[in-house]
C-alpha cells in the first residue's frame, strides 16, 4: 500500500508529463468549479483537457452538474488548471479522498486555489443570484481532513493557523478592482439534505451568511500546503425557512448556476488576474 505522499508523487508525475507534452507550465492557479458552473472552462485560451480518470489515484466527480476533467489553459495569460467538478463528502467518500485533487495541486507546486460553490443564503442580506466572496468559514461537517498520521506528513506544522484562510491580500487586490464584492462567512455542512428552518436560524445566529456542502475541507487541505485560497459562492436560493425555500432542489441550484454563468466568468477572471 502506497503512502499518501507516494500516491501524490505518482499523480503529479503523470500530470507533469501531460503538461510537458502540451508545453504547458505548472499552473499558477487551480480552480475548483461548483455546481452548474462548468461553462467557465470555455474561456480558457489554448485549452486542453485531462480526463481525471487517466491520472493514478485521482477520483472523478459523479454528481450531476459536475464535469470529470481538468481543463488546462490560460486566463489573461495566467496558466490555470480548472477542475470542472469536485468530490463531495456526502457522496460517501472518506475525507482524504474528498481533498485528494486539491492536495495534488498543492504537491505539484500550484500556489493559488480558487474554490467556487453554490450556496444558500441564510438571511435576506444575501440574495439568490448574487456572487459573494468568502472572508471566513465555520466548519460544521464534524470532520477535519487534517486528522490522522498520513495527513500530518504533508506539513511540518501539525497545527495549522486559519487566521488567513481566505487570503486577505488577494481579497484586497480584488476589492481594489471591484469594490462591489460582497464578503461572507460560509457555513460548511455535510448535506445532502438542505437546512431546516431552525437550522437556518441557528446558522445565521452563530455568524454565518451562507451555507453549502463543499469548500471548507478543500480550504483546510490547501492551507496545510501553504496555498493562497479564494472562495466564491453563487447564492442559488434562500435556505429553508426563508421565503419560498421549500422549493429548493438540486435542479434549481444547477439552473441558477447556468443563469449566472456569465457573471461568474467575469468575477473569476478578475480573481485570476489579481492572484499573487
Selected binder of ligand HPA within 194, 230, 242, 272 (CB under 6 A)? 194
Catalytic residue among 11, 32, 58, 66: 66
Binding segment for ligand HPA among 91-99, 123-131, 159-167, 205-213 (CB under 6 A)?
205-213
Whole-Å CA distances, 39 to 67, 162, 241:
10, 31, 31
The answer to whether residue 236 forms part of the interface with ligand HPA (CB under 6 A) is yes
Q: Which residue is nearest to ligand HPA (CB)?
A: 120
Name which of 25 and 125 has its Cβ closer to ligand HPA: 125
SS (H, E, C) the chain: CCCHHHHHHHHHHHHHHHHHHCCCCCCCEEEECCCCCHHHHHHCEEEEEEEHHHCCCCCCCCCCCCCCEEEEEEECCEEEEEECCCCCHHHCCCHHHHCHHHHHHHHHCCCEEEEEEEEEECCCCCCCCCEEEEEEEEECCCCCCCCCHHHHCCCCCCCCCCCCCCCHHHHHHHHHHCCCCEEEEEEECCCCCCCCHHHHHHHHHCCCCEEECCCHHHHHHHHHCCCEEEEEEEEEEECCCCCCHHHCCHHHHHHHHHHCHHHHHHHHHHHHHCCC
Considering only residues 94-153, where is the footprint of ligand HPA by CB under 6 A? 118-120
Shortest CB 157 distance to ligand HPA, Å? 31
Shortest CB 86 distance to ligand HPA, Å? 13
Catalytic residue among 69, 117, 167, 214: 214
Name which of 15 and 134 has its Cβ closer to ligand HPA: 134
Binding segment for ligand HPA among 61-69, 125-133, 145-153, 189-197 (CB under 6 A)?
189-197
The answer to whether residue 237 forms part of the interface with ligand HPA (CB under 6 A) is yes
Residue 118 a catalytic site member = yes
Selected binder of ligand HPA within 146, 165, 239, 254 (CB under 6 A)? 239
Residue 237 a catalytic site member = yes
Residue 204 a catalytic site member = no
Residue 69 a catalytic site member = no
Catalytic residues, by residue number, are: 35, 66, 88, 90-91, 118, 213-214, 237, 250
Contact set with ligand HPA (CB under 6 A)? 118-120, 191, 194-195, 211-213, 236-237, 239, 248, 253
Amino acid at each position: 500500500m502506497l503512502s499518501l505522499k507516494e500516491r501524490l508523487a505518482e499523480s503529479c508525475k503523470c500530470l507533469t508529463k501531460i503538461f510537458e507534452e502540451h508545453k504547458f507550465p505548472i499552473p499558477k492557479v487551480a480552480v475548483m468549479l461548483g455546481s452548474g458552473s462548468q461553462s467557465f472552462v470555455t474561456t480558457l485560451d489554448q485549452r486542453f483537457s485531462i480526463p481525471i480518470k487517466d491520472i493514478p489515484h485521482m477520483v472523478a466527480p459523479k454528481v450531476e452538474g459536475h464535469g470529470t476533467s481538468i481543463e488546462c489553459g490560460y486566463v489573461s495569460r495566467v496558466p490555470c488548471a480548472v477542475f470542472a467538478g469536485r468530490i463531495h463528502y456526502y457522496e460517501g467518500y472518506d475525507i482524504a479522498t474528498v481533498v485528494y485533487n486539491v492536495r495534488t495541486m498543492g504537491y505539484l507546486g500550484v500556489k493559488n486555489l480558487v474554490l467556487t460553490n453554490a450556496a444558500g443564503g441564510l438571511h435576506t442580506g444575501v440574495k439568490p443570484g448574487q456572487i459573494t466572496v468568502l472572508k471566513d468559514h465555520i466548519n460544521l461537517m464534524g470532520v477535519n481532513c487534517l486528522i490522522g498520521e498520513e495527513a500530518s506528513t504533508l506539513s511540518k506544522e501539525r497545527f495549522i493557523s486559519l487566521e488567513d484562510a481566505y487570503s486577505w491580500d488577494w481579497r484586497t487586490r480584488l476589492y481594489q478592482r471591484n469594490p462591489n464584492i460582497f464578503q461572507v462567512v460560509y457555513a460548511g455542512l455535510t448535506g445532502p439534505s438542505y437546512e431546516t428552518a431552525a437550522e437556518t436560524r441557528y446558522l445565521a445566529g452563530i455568524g454565518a451568511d451562507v451555507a453549502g456542502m463543499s469548500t471548507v475541507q478543500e480550504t483546510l487541505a490547501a492551507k496545510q500546503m501553504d496555498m493562497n485560497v479564494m472562495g466564491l459562492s453563487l447564492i442559488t436560493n434562500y435556505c429553508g425557512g426563508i421565503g419560498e425555500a421549500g422549493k429548493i432542489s438540486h435542479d434549481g441550484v444547477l439552473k441558477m448556476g447556468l443563469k449566472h454563468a456569465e457573471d461568474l466568468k467575469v468575477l473569476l477572471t478578475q480573481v485570476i488576474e489579481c492572484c499573487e
